[in-house]
Amino acid sequence: MKTPSIPAAFLALTLFLVLPATSNADKFDEYLAGFTYQERKAMKIESKELVELLQKGEAQLIDIRFPEEFAAWRMGFAKNIPLNELPSRLDELDKNKLIVTACPHNDRSHIARIFLTTKGYRTRYLHDGLIGLAELLRGDTARDFFTAPAQ
């Protein structure tokens, strides 16, 4: 039996590594081709709706800021997965829940949401950002959120 030459083995390895990337590019192309006004609306979620879904156990909030930002201030119920670590930490996401990506101003949460959507997750991004969520969760609203019985 003849063993493959180094160039043949290299070609096989290259195809193995490139095909998944092509598949991901195809998924992104497909997503963009199907982008409608309805999708534009559906990709966003406001803090009030997010809080309701979190209370029902139907959503998972992913704070995609860098660890230093998360350490400076955070939502205790959010999971921190920095954007640059997201591809290697997909196993920490619950595919049975709506994944909501968040950062203070939405730049990174948009990127994370699109990435996760092309990976097959149900996703939205927090439209009013973590700052909007912090604004909502003050006083009685914060108390009610943290004392409401889990459903």
pLDDT of amino acid 17: 46
pLDDT of residue 150: 62
Domain ranges of the chain: 1-34, 37-147
So what's the pLDDT on residue 87? 96
**pTM of structure:** 0.79
DSSP code of residue 145: H
Phi-psi region of 66 (alpha: psi -120 to 50; beta: other; left: phi over 0): beta
10-residue mean pLDDT profile of the chain (151 residues): values are 47 46 75 89 95 96 96 93 97 97 92 95 96 89 74 57
Give the CATH number of domain 37-147: 3.40.250.10
pLDDT score of 22: 56
